Amino acid sequence: MGILTRLWSYLSDGPFQLPRREYSHFHKIVIPTTRGTTEIDHLIVSRFGVFVVELKDYSGWILGSAADPFWTAVYFKRKYRFQNPLHQNFGHLKAVEELLRVDPRALHGLVVFRGSFRFKTPVPSGVLLHRYRAWVAAHQDVMLDAMTVARSVATLDTHGKRGWLAGWTHARSVRARYASDTVCPKCGGALHVRTARRGSNTGSQFLGCTNYPKCKFTKPVG
């Protein structure tokens, strides 16, 4: 899928096409957390709930399951490991819940893969390929009243930051937090070496938070 094709797919399917009277859309918004900041690709607020969408753009083969701490992308015989995006987006959901103080049942999380990729393992629940506007629109149960929606939008307008500088500052703080191999950057717990017992990464080692399952932070060893 070429750049222009992907751009057209993004513009024709993304939240920009949802009716503005029903949905307030925040793109690449950086919000505060108790541990610093987190950046969310698409945050959509409506009376049908708050939608937290993590986008991934990869080429090649993708291997991973919901339980794996890391997934693998294989591109021209080269392997790249990356954090399980479902775990990553769970952190985003908790940050939104903390900031907006809404019922967690009103939060909807989704990971969307785009690009020239192919899953070589079953696509996990909570992951969609390429398109997701219909997924958002399909949620029609009213979860939030008008006052809560307005308050949530106002909170994001006040405390959320957008733009190049916000993204750069967030990325810099993330690098500093995640440099530690002993302290969890999400909850402050201790990081210990663990061994994956299931999934495509069985037998591989990683650093996991001692506050698991409350905190699902993981990172590669070394």
Question: What pLDDT does residue 1 have?
Answer: 45
List Cα–Cα distances, 163 to 168, 170, 204, in angstroms. 9, 11, 38
The total number of structural domains that make up the chain: 1
Q: Tell me how far apart the alpha carbons of residues 222 and 204 are, in angstroms, rounded to a whole number.
A: 12
- 69 in a structural domain: yes
Task: Identify the pLDDT of residue 36.
Answer: 80
Return the pLDDT at 8: 46
> What domain range includes position 155?
3-179
Q: What is the pLDDT of residues 202-219, one digit of tens each?
A: 888 888 888 887 777 888
Asked if pLDDT for residue 2 goes beyond 60, the answer is no
Taking only the tens place, the pLDDT of each residue in 7-65 is 444 445 556 678 889 999 999 999 998 878 889 999 999 999 999 999 999 889 999 99
> Is residue 209 in a domain?
no
**In this structure, is residue 159 part of a structural domain?**
yes
Can you give the pLDDT at residue 185?
74
In a domain, 80, yes or no: yes
Decide if 200 is inside a domain. Answer: no
**pLDDT of the residue at 170:** 65
Domain annotation covers residue 30: yes
Confidence band of 102 (pLDDT split at 50, 70, 90): very high
Residue 134 included in any domain: yes
203 within a domain of the structure (yes/no): no
